[in-house]
């Protein structure tokens, strides 16, 4: 009888011991590491077989004291095993996503601490769980080379504390493609415009006399994107002022010799052309000139001298670069002798042209 009593009571006792043992195990067991939030590994280049740097971002979840962050790069990528080559920076970080703040990863050293296999480990200091996403850039001398083109590359980012022991860890996925570049092509068409303001008549300001008289002048404007600028030319229909009614003419003075010395009306009579110019106020890389071969012939003194007119085109001015409005002003000057035949139909026609030097 006594033996049966003991046997019946032993089963609950055994069950009680088992339950207590399970509870004890549950209390004393280690908590598993958490997952990082907002994990991002952004490569500077996604082209297959390309050396690249990149940016690491993650948001801590678990409250603990971080001392390291380990980046495991996907199998198939080539990882430089020299830790010193893995340099870091915390400038030009990604923009803040909605609801979060991006901050420099604290404690990131100038270079990686270790690099082995697919793992590269960097020094870190404590991260604060919450809405802050911590980021840093990695670069250096051929630190990382991507694998062949694929969408199946998987790696991980792991924060660690002394030991090292994992605090938080999450995986990420990378894609590589055959070419991550887009070549942009564009055409800027050549542009050249030329205009003469105020019609095509330029009258002398007074009757011709034994003193120098000038015309009002006509201004031409040139705009061009020709890299080498432009050149303007002039030719005269008669190389002088002619009167049909008087069968008379006032010939141009001097000779075409790239100088105005022999056509200065202060000491001779005749008909000449004086050309002045103004550089565009903006957007010009070249200067208008009347240099040798490009119009020194017509660089008058503004009162009595000018260049000898010709029935063939002669250069009057030039510029050496693009412009949004260079101007050249043409003024004719004349001085006659006291016995020049009287008439009111003395005339000449100048043809003024210009071209861009593309």
Predicted pLDDT at 8: 36
| Entry pTM | 0.67
Edge-to-edge strand ranges of the sheet holding 314-319: 314-319, 230-236, 350-356
User: Quick one: DSSP state of residue 297?
Assistant: G
Q: In what order do the strands lie in the sheet with 150-161?
A: 114-116, 119-123, 68-72, 150-161, 165-176
Pairwise CA distance, residues 223 & 194, whole Å:
7
Burial class (CB in 10 A: 0-12, 13-18, 19+), 83: middle
Contact between 86 and 70 under an 8 Å Cβ cutoff? The reply is no
The confidence score (pLDDT) of residue 328 equals: 95
Q: List the CATH code of the domain at 37-176.
A: 2.60.40
Rounded to 5, what percent of the chain is helix, strand, coil? 10, 40, 50
Coil/strand/helix, residue 12: helix
Reported as a single tens digit per residue, the pLDDT across 97-106 is 999 999 999 9
Largest CA distance in the chain: 169
In this prediction, the residues of the chain whose per-residue pLDDT falls under 50 are: 1-32
pLDDT reported for residue 291: 63
Domain residue extents for the chain: 37-176, 192-356
The structure tokens listed for 64 are 């603990």
Residue of 6, 1, 24, 93 lying closest to 54 (CA atoms): 93
Query: How many residues does the structure list for the chain?
Result: 358
Cα separation, 26 vs 103, in Å, equals 38
pLDDT value of position 235: 98
């Amino acid at each position: 009888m006594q033996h049966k009593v003991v046997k019946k009571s032993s089963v609950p006792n055994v069950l009680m011991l088992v339950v207590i043992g399970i509870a004890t195990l549950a209390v004393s067991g280690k908590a598993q590491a958490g997952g990082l939030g907002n994990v991002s590994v952004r490569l500077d280049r996604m082209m297959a077989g390309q050396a690249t740097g990149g940016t690491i971002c993650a948001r801590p979840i678990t409250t603990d004291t971080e001392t390291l962050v380990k980046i495991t790069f996907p199998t198939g990528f080539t990882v430089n095993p020299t830790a010193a080559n893995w340099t870091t920076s915390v400038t030009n970080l990604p923009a803040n996503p909605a609801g979060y703040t991006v901050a420099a990863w604290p404690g990131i050293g100038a270079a990686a601490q270790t690099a082995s296999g697919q793992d590269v480990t960097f020094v870190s200091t404590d991260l604060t769980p919450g809405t802050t996403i911590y980021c840093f850039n990695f670069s250096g001398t051929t630190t990382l080379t991507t694998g062949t083109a694929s969408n199946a590359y998987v790696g991980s980012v792991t924060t660690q504390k002394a030991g090292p022991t994992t605090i938080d860890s999450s995986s990420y996925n990378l894609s590589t493609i055959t070419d991550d570049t887009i070549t942009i092509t564009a055409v800027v068409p050549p542009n050249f415009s030329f205009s003469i303001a105020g019609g095509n008549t330029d009258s002398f300001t007074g009757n011709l006399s034994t003193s120098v008289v000038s015309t009002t002048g006509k201004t031409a404007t040139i705009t061009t994107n020709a890299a080498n600028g432009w050149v303007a030319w002039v030719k005269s229909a008669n190389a002088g002022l002619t009167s049909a009614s008087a069968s008379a003419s006032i010939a141009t003075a001097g000779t075409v010799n790239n100088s105005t010395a022999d056509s200065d009306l202060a000491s001779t009579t005749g008909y000449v052309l004086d050309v002045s110019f103004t550089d565009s106020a903006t957007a010009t890389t070249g200067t208008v000139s009347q240099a040798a071969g490009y119009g020194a012939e017509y660089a008058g003194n503004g009162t009595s001298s000018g260049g000898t007119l010709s029935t063939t085109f002669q250069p009057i001015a030039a510029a050496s670069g693009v412009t949004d409005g260079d101007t050249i002003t043409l003024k004719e000057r004349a001085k006659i002798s006291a016995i020049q035949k009287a008439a009111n139909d003395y005339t000449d026609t100048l043809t003024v042209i210009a071209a861009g030097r593309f």
